[in-house]
Chains A and B, each alone.
Chain A
Amino acid sequence: MQGLVFTALSDMVIDKMGLGMWNDVLNSVNPVSGGVYTKGMQYDDDELMAIVADISERTQIPVTDLVRTFGQYIFKYLFASSPADLSKVDNVRDFLLLIDGVIHKEVKRLYPQAYLPKFDYDTSTDGVLVMYYQSKRKLCHLSEGLIFSAAAQFNQTVTIDHPECMHNGAEKCKLIISILD
């Protein structure tokens, strides 16, 4: 997984829970990397899962909520470092529709080793965007958090229904995004 995810996670934990908490988590998880993270490098997925599980245990916040919150937090990092030109995008729907075909393609050019989730879209219903999420990492709740922050970025509000989930055996997660304004 891209180092940016780890540096953002450390920022979030330090921001919200303090440096001591982040040190405790790393000392407890004892990741192979030693907790030394750099944006441009790749790290083992298991390190992130172990860190999230440890934080969840310490804070009693369910993993799904923690991951969703992290998705909301990391959005600003991803948006700011997007390799695709987003200057002409002015609404969340257009932004979400660019993720798979444009933004991820540019990320892949910059970081060829990066593993990225696959998104399919259903735009057949007015006011609703259906996104199908598929990834071996099953971080669909991270996507939910990202979508909420993306809406906030464009001063819009969305609700997300998640009726089909890979965690419940579905082949892909179905995210029904209703754009309220």
Chain B
Amino acid sequence: MTELDSYKQAYAREKKARELAENLLDEKTRELYDNFEQLELIVEQLVHTEKMASLGQLSAGIAHEINNPVGYSYSNIETLSEYVADLCQLDSFIIDISTQPTIPSSQVLLSQYVSLRKNLNIDFIKQDITPLLTDALEGLERVKNIVNNLKKMAYKESDEFVAVNINGCINDCLKVVGKELKYKMEVVLALTECDEIQGQASDLSQVLINLFMNSVQACGNSTGVLTISSYQTPESVIIDVQDNGKGIEKDKLNKIFDPFFTTKAVGEGTGLGLSISATIIKKHQGQLSVKSEMGKGTCFTITLPRPA
């Protein structure tokens, strides 16, 4: 074999080897692309699962919040149904007389009517009906609002961003976690007028509720102060969620946004709350940051871009 033939043979082999390598690269690229798509889907599912988990943690408080107005609305309606029976009885008195062959004199009739009216306590009933109805309606309105807020939280929106009023979002979230905060935290609101941002209210609510619940846990058994501020700069809408709880140790501060990192006992937290919150804020082109001092408290800051 001549030297030229030798090189030609080697070149042919190298050419085939390069084709093989290129095919392998294509195959691996496809695999990576498929895996990336799957990962995106899993992240989406995780966000929703975490949302459901945080709703689950709130469920006992929410049940109480619903039970209370349902309880007194039910009781009011029970009383109202007794009143309706009394009013019907008074009505029947007149109707029954009108069907009798001999109708008593109007003097007697009036006296019997007044006596029955007194027995049935109609004056009190007349006074009581309005507040009973008002309270029952107000109670049912409260239940409706709680369910609506829950729906806002749990509903899986489309990926489309819409105009979101951040202060409205904060207030809606406070209604959902109200029971959890009521006896444990003093809530100080320092909300200032902010532009609407482009985003997904359900996802942003998930972040806020997560931060509120973390504050409750950071304050433990002592009554804490949760200060929620909103304000804007020329570029951003900013929300500070500050507590005066135990704080986060310095060496843990850079890990709190890592998936599955948790300082809570097994079964008390998924370890995904802050990681998913950071992902949601990132999806909104924003930033979730934290400052903390042991024994003094923690402040989470959500920075979201103002629409151009």
Cβ of B16: which chain A residues have Cβ within 8 Å of it? Answer: 34, 36
B6 at the interface (CB under 8 A from A): yes
Known: A20-B1, A23-B1. A37 touches B17 (CB 8 A): yes
A34 interface neighbour in B3, B7, B13, B24, Cβ under 8 Å: B13
Closest chain B residue to A18, Cβ basis: B6
How many Å lie between the Cα of A40 and that of B28 in the bound state?
10
Total B residues in contact with A, Cβ cutoff 8 Å: 14
Cβ of A41: which chain B residues have Cβ within 8 Å of it? Answer: 20, 24
**Residues of chain B from 1 to 30 with CB closer than 8 A to chain A in the complex:** 1, 3, 6-7, 9-10, 13, 16-18, 20-21, 24, 28
Whether A22 contacts B10 by the Cβ 8 Å rule is yes
Cβ of A23: which chain B residues have Cβ within 8 Å of it? Answer: 1, 6, 9-10
How many Å lie between the Cα of A37 and that of B18 in the bound state?
9
* Most B Cβ at <10 Å: residue of A22, A26, A36: A36
B20 interface neighbour in A20, A26, A36, Cβ under 8 Å: A36
Given A40-B28, A41-B24, 9 new contacts (CB under 8 A):
A19-B7, A19-B10, A20-B3, A22-B10, A36-B16, A36-B17, A38-B20, A40-B21, A40-B24
| Interfacial residues, chain B to chain A (CB-CB below 8 A) | 1, 3, 6-7, 9-10, 13, 16-18, 20-21, 24, 28
A30 to chain B minimum Cβ distance, whole angstroms, is: 13
How many Å lie between the Cα of A17 and that of B21 in the bound state?
26
Whether B13 contacts A39 by the Cβ 8 Å rule is no
Task: Offer 10 A-B interface pairs, CB within 8 angstroms, sorted by A.
Answer: A19-B6, A19-B7, A20-B3, A23-B1, A23-B9, A26-B13, A36-B16, A38-B17, A38-B18, A40-B24
Give per-residue flags for A11-27: 1 if the beta carbon is below 8 A from chain B beta carbons, else 0.
00000000110111010
A117 at the interface (CB under 8 A from B): no
Cβ of B17: which chain A residues have Cβ within 8 Å of it? Answer: 7, 36-38
Cβ of A36: which chain B residues have Cβ within 8 Å of it? Answer: 13, 16-17, 20
A35 at the interface (CB under 8 A from B): yes
A130 to chain B minimum Cβ distance, whole angstroms, is: 38
How many Å lie between the Cα of A7 and that of B18 in the bound state?
12
Cβ of A40: which chain B residues have Cβ within 8 Å of it? Answer: 21, 24, 28
